[in-house]
């Protein structure tokens, strides 16, 4: 009985279910395929990260004595698709069984069903799709906060018996500070490309020159050892201030106090439990305060698990909903970054340079604009899937479709995350470098977020006014003079038609 054990590019963990009962004589199959590199035109750094991490992982398996059949992208016999490569490998190896771990994306799951393989669960998460479905069953609303509390109880993280440590589940009210001018976040650790990465970079430059984003400088970790070093750096130098400055934005500093580990988690170089344990330990040793550690653990134990559960619960129909009937095409500045709106130019510039932007840039700058301007959800989702090193549909889609765009009509978020220029001004230093003014509501110097915000509320009144969490803005709107409303609508129409 020999097995062919398939490992995909986001399954780079020695403890993967597909590798767990490996026997001598088994073969591990890893495939670089054109279809995966181009189903969306990923950022160049994401391609390098995945191909280089795959090659390093294959080396690690070989050093551990496993036999790896590794198909390079440039192999002349490479057919370019998972399904055809699995068929070719079965002809080569004649295994008695084919074993694979379930994929992160619906699209790949549909393909995988045709591989004649035993599909094992991906148990790198705290929750399973089935346990999430059981939690969701019979609930009218699927609020992350209640799921998170159950996950705290189940995992025992930050618990004191049956109660949350510190007497509260959530310390977010301490976590909304902007960054004072004299506070300098730590410099980010980079990992110099080794020979394998340099070779992959040349291949990506040659094969995918039209893909979005700067290829250099490339500083991502591509091995577990380096990803662990990045985690150490975060825990030692950034975690204590993570909470306070979690929502802050600063021109020229994409990373602030964020962990910048999402790509490592999503491709398997790090696991969620070890990360949460390290954060909890930092709190118990007095190195980091509870508001920071709770806020950080909530992102991984709460949000990350919740979006995965939601994705598998709601797909494939989820992606097709468009509650606000948003139809406007994605403006070209999402690719070029060329816009007079400095916040957008900065968030898109960071994205192009690093294949990274932090959560508030994604949600409250590029996401907020897409929501207010009524951009087509499918086009916006394609953009998020293409431009970030951590983007895989299971995590990208609920965040974009549900959280940022409210395209699911409130399955994920209890209200749209819509904000005017005042929010961006409060949380960033972007407005001081902008030709628009956040305090000006109408006229040529007005921040477009201001009139777009009210235009959004007016446009969607029929769908949103009954939402109890939208009561305040709709009461303000009801008090607004008709002429002012008409002015807002005119400004918005002129602006939107110029996109
Ligand atoms: P930190 O701020 O340091 O947070 C720690 C970790 O928590 C992250 O590494 C991540 O694993 C997890 N996390 C935090 N927020 C979320 C969240 N909302 N959902 C899931 N996990 C979370 N994250 C992705 O991993 N891939 C995506 O494709 C992706 N697309 C997004 C699209 C939009 C529109 C929005 C609003 C958010 C998206 N996120 C996505 C979530 C979040 O923005 C990123 O996980 C985070 O910015 C990654 O940076 P970090 O590692 O420095 O995170
Ligand atoms: C994202 C990606 C890319 C760009 N290339 C490959 C590849 O060539 N081979 C591979 O095994 N995986 C790749 N991946 C990751 C897959 O797309 C990923 O497994 C799916 O998104 C399912 O989660
Ligand atoms: Fe963005 Fe408006 Fe501030 Fe300009 S003024 S940076 S457009 S929020």
Mean pLDDT of 367-380: 98
Q: Where are the alpha helices (DSSP H) in 21-123?
A: 34-38, 44-63, 82-93, 106-112
pTM here is 0.97
Assign 5 to helix, strand or coil: strand
Contact between residue 242 and residue 292 where contact means Cβ atoms under 8 Å apart: yes
Closest CA to 327 of 461, 496, 494: 496
- What's the whole-number mean pLDDT along residues 179-200? 94
CA 46 to chain centre: 13
Distance of CA 131 from the midpoint of ligand 2 (Å): 26
**Residue 1 has what pLDDT?**
80
Determine which helix (DSSP H) or strand (DSSP E) holds 31, and give its type and residue range.
strand 27-31
Residue nearest to atom 2 of ligand 1 (CA): 258
Q: What percent of the chain has pLDDT over 90?
A: 96
Interval between CA 262 and ligand 1 midpoint (Å) = 6
Handedness of CA 99, 196, 256, 414 (dihedral sign): negative
What one-character-per-residue DSSP string does 336-374 give?
Answer: H---S-HHHHHHHHHHHHHS---HHIIIIIIIHHHHHHT
Distance from the CA of 359 to the center of ligand 1, in angstroms? 6
Strands 163-164 and 159-160: antiparallel
pLDDT of residue 176: 80
- Residues 232-285 have pLDDT tens digits of 999 999 999 999 999 999 999 999 999 999 999 999 999 999 999 999 999 999
Spatial contact of 413 and 401, defined as CB atoms under 8 Å apart:
no
pLDDT, mean over the chain: 97
What mean pLDDT do residues 284-310 have? 97
Peptide bond into 360 cis (omega under 30): no
Residue 479 has pLDDT above 80, yes or no: yes
Cα(91) to centroid(ligand 3), Å: 59
Does the beta carbon of 374 sit less than 6 angstroms from any atom of ligand 3? no
Interatomic CA distance for residues 442 and 427, integer angstroms: 22
Please tell me the distance from the alpha carbon of residue 82 to that of residue 111, in angstroms, as a whole number.
8
Mean pLDDT of 440-458: 98
Ligand 3 pocket, residue 262 CB under 6 Å: no
Alpha-carbon distance of 61 to 400, in angstroms, equals: 35
Structure tokens at 32: 């670089």
State the pLDDT at residue 16: 97
Confidence of residue 173 (pLDDT cuts 50, 70, 90): confident
Residue 172 is predicted with a pLDDT of: 84
Half-sphere CA count of 415, side-chain side, radius 13 A: 15
Q: Provide residues with CB under 6 Å of ligand 1.
A: 258-262, 265-266, 299-300, 303-304, 307, 358-359, 362-363, 367, 384, 388, 390-391, 395-396, 399-400, 403-404
Distance CA 443, CA 456 (A): 18
* Angle (nearest 5°) at CA 356 between 351 and 361: 75
From the list 396, 391, 351, the residue with the least C-alpha distance to 49 is 391
Ligand with the closest atom to the CA of 343: 3
pLDDT attached to residue 465: 96
390-401 burial, b if ≥16 CB within 10 A, otherwise e? bbbbbbbbbbbb
**pLDDT for the residue 92:** 97
The predicted structure's pLDDT at residue 140: 86
Distance, CA 436 to ligand 3 centroid (Å)? 6
d(CA 381, CA 4): 34
What the block records as the tokens of 115 is 């591989």
Ligand 3 near 434 CB (within 6 A)? yes
For residue 210, give the 3-state DSSP assignment. Answer: coil
Helix, strand or coil, per DSSP, at residue 272: helix
pLDDT at residue 174 is higher than 80: no
pLDDT at 288 over 80: yes
pLDDT at 175: 76
Pairing of strands 118-120, 67-71: unpaired
DSSP conformation class of 319: G
- The atom of ligand 2 lying closest to the CA of 104 is 23
Task: Give start and end residues of each alpha helix (H) in 355-481.
Answer: 359-360, 368-373, 377-387, 393-397, 421-427, 448-459, 461-464, 471-479
Is the pLDDT at 456 greater than 80, yes or no?
yes
Q: Give residue 359's pLDDT.
A: 97
Average the pLDDT over 363-367 and give the result.
98
- Ligand 2: residue of 50, 78, 355 to mutate (most ligand atoms within 8 A of CB) is 50
The Cα–Cα gap between 400 and 377 comes to 8
- Rounded to an integer, the average pLDDT of 136-154 is 95
Q: pLDDT tens across 194-222, in order? A: 999 999 999 999 999 999 999 999 999 99
**pLDDT score recorded for residue 258:** 97
Higher pLDDT, 177 or 290: 290
**Contact criterion met (CB below 8 Å) for 325 and 181:** no
Per-residue confidence band for 167, with pLDDT thresholds at 50, 70 and 90: very high
**Lowest-pLDDT choice from 4-13, 14-23, 165-174:** 165-174
Q: How many other CB atoms sit within 10 Å of the CB of residue 128?
A: 16
**What is the arithmetic mean of pLDDT over 92-114?**
97
Q: What is the pLDDT of residues 317-355, one digit of tens each?
A: 999 999 999 999 999 999 999 999 999 999 999 999 999
């Amino acid at each position: 009985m020999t097995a062919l054990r398939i490992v995909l590019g986001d399954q780079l963990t020695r403890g993967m279910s597909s590798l767990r009962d490996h026997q001598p004589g088994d073969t591990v199959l890893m495939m670089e395929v054109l279809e995966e590199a181009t189903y969306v035109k990923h950022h160049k750094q994401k391609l390098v990260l995945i191909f280089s991490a795959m090659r390093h992982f294959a080396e690690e398996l070989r050093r551990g004595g496993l036999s790896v059949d590794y198909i390079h992208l440039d192999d002349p016999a490479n057919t370019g698709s998972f399904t055809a490569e699995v068929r070719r490998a079965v002809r080569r190896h004649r295994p008695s069984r084919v074993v694979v771990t379930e994929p992160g994306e619906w699209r790949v799951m549909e393909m995988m069903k045709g591989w004649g393989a035993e599909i094992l669960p991906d148990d790198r998460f705290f929750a399973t799709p089935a346990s999430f479905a059981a939690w969701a069953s019979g609930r009218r609303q699927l609020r992350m906060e209640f799921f998170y509390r159950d996950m705290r109880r189940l995992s025992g993280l930050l618990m004191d018996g049956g109660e949350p440590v510190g007497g509260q589940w959530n310390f977010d009210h301490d976590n909304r500070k902007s960054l004072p001018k004299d506070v300098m976040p730590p410099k980010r650790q980079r990992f110099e490309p080794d020979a394998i990465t340099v070779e992959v970079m040349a291949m990506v430059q040659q094969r995918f020159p039209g893909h979005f984003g700067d290829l250099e400088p490339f500083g991502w970790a591509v091995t577990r050892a380096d990803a662990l070093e990045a985690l150490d750096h975060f825990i030692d130098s950034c975690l204590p201030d993570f909470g306070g400055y979690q929502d802050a934005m600063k021109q020229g500093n994409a990373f602030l106090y964020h962990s910048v580990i999402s790509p490592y988690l999503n491709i398997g170089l790090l696991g969620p439990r070890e990360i949460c344990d390290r954060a909890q330990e930092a709190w118990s040793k007095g190195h980091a305060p509870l508001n920071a550690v709770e806020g950080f653990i909530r992102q991984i134990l709460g949000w990350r698990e919740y979006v995965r559960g939601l994705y598998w619960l709601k797909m494939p129909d989820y992606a097709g909903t468009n509650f606000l009937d948003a139809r406007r095409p994605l403006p070209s500045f999402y690719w070029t970054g060329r816009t007079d709106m400095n916040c957008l130019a900065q968030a898109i510039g960071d994205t192009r340079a690093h294949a990274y932007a932090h959560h508030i840039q994604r949600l409250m700058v590029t996401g907020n604009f897409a929501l207010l301007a009524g951009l087509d959800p499918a086009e916006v989702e394609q953009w998020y899937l293409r431009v970030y090193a951590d983007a895989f549909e299971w995590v990208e889609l609920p965040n974009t479709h549900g959280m940022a765009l409210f395209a699911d009509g409130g399955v994920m978020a209890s209200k749209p995350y819509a904000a005017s220029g005042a929010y961006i001004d409060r949380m960033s230093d972007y407005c001081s470098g902008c030709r628009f003014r956040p305090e000006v509501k109408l006229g040529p110097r007005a921040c477009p977020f201001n009139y777009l915000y009210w235009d959004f509320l007016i446009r969607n009144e029929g769908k949103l006014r009954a939402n109890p969490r939208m009561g305040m803005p709709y009461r303000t709107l009801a008090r607004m003079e008709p002429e002012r409303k008409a002015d807002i609508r005119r400004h918005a129409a002129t602006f939107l038609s110029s996109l």
